[in-house]
Each structure stands twice: as C-alpha cells, then as structure tokens.
Amino acid sequence: MPAIDYEKNLVRKPVYEVGVQAVGKHKGHQVPSMTYMSNSLVPGSNTYVEISWIYDVPTPNPYVFEHAHNYNEIVLHIGSDPENPEALGGEMTIDVEGQPLTFDRTTALFLPRGTKHGPLTWQKVTRPHIEMTIMLGCGDFAKAMPGRNPNE
C-alpha cells in the first residue's frame, strides 16, 4: 500500500480573503478574517472554515446581518481563558429565525441549510475570543455567501 502524504491537507498559513475592503472601517474584530480550510487550500475538502478574533465590541455593531446559506453551518464562539475555557469573555445575541439567543459562554450553534440567522450583536467584550464558522459540504466563500463580495 503506498504511503499517503498528508502534508497537502495541512494548512499552515490562512488566506485573508473576507473583509479586505473593510480594513479601517471596522473596529473591535479581526479584519480581514482568516480562511483556514477551503477547496483552494485543500482541494476536495468541501469544507469552508473562517476564523477571526473579537477583541472589543465590534463597530459597526452589528456587522453581521440576517442571512441564510445553502449549506449546513456550525458557528463557534470560543473563549480564551485557559483557567475558565467555558467563559466567553463577552456577551452577544444572535437571532435565529427571529428567535434571539443570548450567551456569554463558549458555544457551538448548528444552523441547518436555509436557516435565517442574524443580526449578531455584541453587548460587551471583556476578553478576546474567537469566532469560527464551519460550512459543511461547501468548499469556498462564493458558495458559502452567494452574491456577497468577500472583500466587504
């Protein structure tokens, strides 16, 4: 059996493709965000993973408005306190199909394909934390957000 070289599946450097034109216009969060998995980075992965740091209440707030995707999505908000990893370091609300969900803990939210979600509004940020989105079966930003310019 031939050995498989898994180096081709390891993304060591992200692509900064989402939010390029928002640099200087947005504050409190990482712009542009980091794409760590896509078909262009790992051909055939059919997964899109985008990560950004939130380090203050973002402005504008909200900057994520109501939208839906043609793919299942997992949205994670991950705290950065190793002594209390479940503490998010902030409080935010996201509307899902009109239902507001407010949390201040590390969370994972599954959004089935076609589920309307947003806006995402921060009430406070007391410690930097990570926001990560994972699109299952979707290999690039254009499929994840059809019609949206990734530079905005």
- For residue 113, being part of any structural domain is answered with yes
- For residue 7, being part of any structural domain is answered with no
- For residue 65, being part of any structural domain is answered with yes
Alpha helices in 2-151 (DSSP H): 141-144
Average pLDDT for 117-145: 91
- For residue 84, being part of any structural domain is answered with yes
- For residue 22, being part of any structural domain is answered with yes
Maximum Cα–Cα distance across the chain: 55
pLDDT digits (tens, 9 = 90+) for 12-60: 999 998 877 777 788 999 999 999 999 999 999 999 999 999 999 999 9
Number of domains in the chain: 1
What six digits make up the tokens of 79? Answer: 């705290």
- For residue 58, being part of any structural domain is answered with yes
pLDDT digits (tens, 9 = 90+) for 78-124: 999 999 999 999 999 999 999 999 999 999 999 999 999 999 999 99
Closest CA to 140 of 3, 36, 67, 23: 36
Residue type, 118: G
CATH of the domain at 112: 2.60.120.10
**Does the reported pTM lie above 0.75?**
yes
- For residue 79, being part of any structural domain is answered with yes
Which residue range forms the structural domain that includes residue 22? 13-144
- For residue 2, being part of any structural domain is answered with no
